Each structure stands twice: as C-alpha cells, then as structure tokens.
Amino acid sequence: MSERLQPGDVAPAFTLPDADGKDVSLSDYQGRKVIVYFYPAALTPGCTKQACDFTDNLDVLAAAGYDVIGISPDKPDKLAKFREKENLKVTLLADPEKTATEAYAAYGEKKNYGKTYMGVIRSTVIVDEEGKVERALYNVRATGHVAKIIKDLGI
C-alpha cells in the first residue's frame, strides 16, 4: 500500500482508458491544474452524487483553470453507462487493476458496519500545472465535497 501523497510530491503518472476506451494520461494535462478524484463504484448513490456535483460545478472549476478526472475500478463500458444515465461531463477513467488508485494511496483498509475490508478510499488529489500535488484529501464525503473544494481553493 502506498504512502499518502503530500503537497509538493510529484503526482504519480497514469494512463487509463476512459468511458469510450480511449487512453488518457495525466501528462495530457501538463500545464493545467487537475482535480483527480477516486471513487468506489459507478452507478452507486454516493458516487453518483459526487460525480453529479463535479459535473454541476465543472464550468466554475474550468473557469478557474481546473480539469476534473474521476477514477474508479469499473470497466469502460460501465463508465459509459454511468456517464449516459447521469449526463456526466467529467472525464471518467477505468482502473480495474487499481494501479493508479494504489499509486495515489486511494486503496486500502476500510470499515463499514464494524467490518474491515480492502477497498477504494474516496479521495481527491489536486495536481498543479507542473504535475505536483497541491492538495491530497483522503476519506472525503461524497456529499458537500465539491463545494468544500471550491471554497478551499478560493474559487
């Protein structure tokens, strides 16, 4: 399990397929700020709320120079269904092998109803124009998270 990222760390590189199966790399965003968020599963209530919140605030974030990428262990075809059903505008990437998820320390031990298990830890990493971590937020809540990011970034 990777150490949690800290401000100033180089954001781990990744290349993953999007909902259409087209490869997307973090390096494609060089020179732009990127909000990379990790969520457990497409088409679930919390993850839908979070993805819709990012979509609803995409214009505000884009105007401030931020792109948004959501990463989950889902396969591209499930991401495509998620995007269509919820009319999502954020870039959704598939990480079924959890390579990026683990590199960003967004996979680990979770507790739910007294049970401990391994899973995706809802996390958001904000990457600056040079590919360095500006902020790394772990164990975030799906509801209200996007509003908090906007407030914290002073947008």
- Based on the residue annotation, tell me whether 52 is a catalytic residue of this protein: no
Residue 147: CA atoms inside 13 Å, Cβ hemisphere, count?
5
Contact between 40 and 132 (Cβ < 8 Å): no
**Which two three-digit tokens encode residue 69?**
């990428």
What is the number of other CB atoms lying within 10 angstroms of the CB of residue 132? Answer: 14
Catalytic site residue from 26, 36, 47, 127: 47
Amino acid at 8: G
| Catalytic site positions | 47
